[in-house]
A and B are shown apart, each in its own frame.
Chain A
Amino acid sequence: MIHLFKKKKKKDTRPKGGIRLPYVGFFCLGIFFLAVIFADVIAPYDPQEGDLFSSTIPPVWQEEGSLAHILGTDMLGRDVLSRIIHGSRMSLLISVGCILFYGSIGVTLGLISGFMGGRTDMVIMRMADLWLSLPAIIVLFMLASVHGPSAKTIILTFGIMGWPNYARIVRGECLSLKERDFVRLARVAGCSKLRIMFSHILPNIMNTIIIMATIEIGGIIVLTASMSFLGLGTQPPSCDWGLMLAEGRQYITYASWLVTFPGLAIVITVLGFNLTGDWLREILDPKQKLR
């Protein structure tokens, strides 16, 4: 066994002075954003309109498949491809909604906490601890059982629950920036605290925030899709990948394409975000603070 751990000369395959571009990631994201932006143009059918007389047509490469519906149709005769294309919008909407929601809370609290220090800092960080001990899915259960499940409930839940991570990292960054000369100078020049926080410190931590958002967005997409899958999120008849999976699951044994393709769509999108996020982190955050 020992020979495994023997030192071997490292062979750096990376190009000198740079990091390999995540072509696969870009490609995946390219497809995704193409779908989001041009959904109305490229989707062959209306995602909500179904023709019952063409229900559950298999994808084109299967025996009874037809070119009219490349990825087949669902029970109501709605075109799966069109629904997946339009579903990309819902995914982006929900995940970006969540991240904007908790990101802004997290960044604001993190800035205040890091900049003000003292008691304010302690209170906010204790609150973050408290928040972290309450799993988001639990909160979703409560909100959904009381107010009914919907995309709004999901955004609200993850929006309320996600901020502590942001707050912690922003606070850390803020603490080190606070002692830098340009902040001190701004203080001497008589800038208000608010102004220093938002126009001097914030632009300098924007990088960190963007990397975090890119890294987290993939996770959020999976998370929200699984909530819709469980019936705690988006409700029919909207186009949502998680929901499509949940609906298709009943028919899995004879219409497996209803489950396979929305799943693949999630995988491709998340893969794209993850690869790109990793790449961004490596070029923008060489010290790997955001592991």
Chain B
Amino acid sequence: MQGYILKRILIAMFTIFAVLTVVFFIFRLGPADPVAVMLPPNATPQDAENLTKKFGLDQPLMVQYTNYLKNAFKGDFGTSFRFNEPALKVLFERFPATLQLGLVAFVISVLVGLSVGIISAVKPDSFIDRIGRLVALAGMSLPSFWVGVMLILFFGVTLRWLPIAGKGTLAHYIMPSFCMSLYPIALITRLSRSSMLDALKSDYVVMARIKGVPEFYVILVHAFKNASIPVLTVIFGIFSGLIVGSAVVVEYIFSWPGIGRLVMESYFARDYPVVQVFVIFVTFVVVTMNLIVDIIYAYIDPRIRYQ
């Protein structure tokens, strides 16, 4: 077991190292010269030289690379061109907002997705099942950015019921979290429905029913427990997906002050250190989450360890 965990940790560390390297070379070897980009329009060639020296860009690439790794190890990922603050600090200031929205969307998706999924499986072709299947289909087919724009147009601009952008009151959470949870709800509903259908047909559920276990327990204890493993995998995946992929689109549309909007703004303002630190941070989060999931699985299911 310890060997397995150690191996996993080593792989995770290697992944992060590989990403650090890729990020460094992609940004250094691209056509945009960071110094040219940082300079204001009325800068003189002398200013350009000063900046080049300040950022150590006049040194050979390999020296820059080792310096970069050394600094990264110390947690220094460069200074944001735009804010003149450490890029990591800028990112961390904005991360809580993303986390809050992500958590709200996550809770909504899991609650709605699981309950609709289970009910649909227990009562196939019932009213809830039909609604559930429709929601699942809609969630899979509606692009969230379009839904977001439509929501703003309808609830924000036409009806004026909900605030359009920013973060402040609880009402600010409604539209973005709805928008964000649309796809995960669909995914969880589908998956939990089909896993539950399988589980309900299985021998141990039939057995439990024959034994006279109350239906409520059959469903929640016997069937759901067994159906939950594939669902759990997806749920973990969804959480990292929420704070990464959806965050960028949804935060951009609803002006949510999180890291997704930060990275879009930084991208358009050509603030590469922030884009860079975002990439590294997100990879770090995803790798860590995967590591935790792997270790938990190894505890739950001993077969995995000996693969």
Contact = CB atoms under 8 A, between A and B. Distances in A.
A and B touch in the complex (CB under 8 A): yes
A158 to B, nearest CB: 12
Contacts of B15: 129-130, 133
A147 B27 CA distance: 10
Interface string B236-268: 000011001100110010000000000110011
A73 interface: no
B146 A218 contact: no
Interface string A236-253: 000000000100010011
B18 to A, nearest CB: 7
A288 interface: yes
Contacts of A210: none
A271 B141 contact: yes
A280 interface: no
Contact of B143 (A10, A142, A263): A263
A11 B125 contact: yes
A134 interface: yes
A186 B230 CA distance: 36
Contact of B146 (A132, A134, A245, A256): A245
B31 A147 contact: yes
A267 B30 contact: no
A248 to B, nearest CB: 9
Contacts, number: 138
Contacts of A253: 153, 157
B32 interface: yes
B267 to A, nearest CB: 6
B245 A263 contact: no
Given A2-B215, A229-B145, A263-B150, A145 B270 contact: yes
Contact of B290 (A133, A142, A144, A259): A133
B191 A142 contact: no
A136 B153 CA distance: 30
B137 interface: yes
A146 B27 contact: yes
Given A259-B146, A260-B150, 9 more contacts: A134-B283, A135-B244, A137-B244, A142-B26, A147-B30, A218-B140, A253-B157, A270-B141, A274-B141
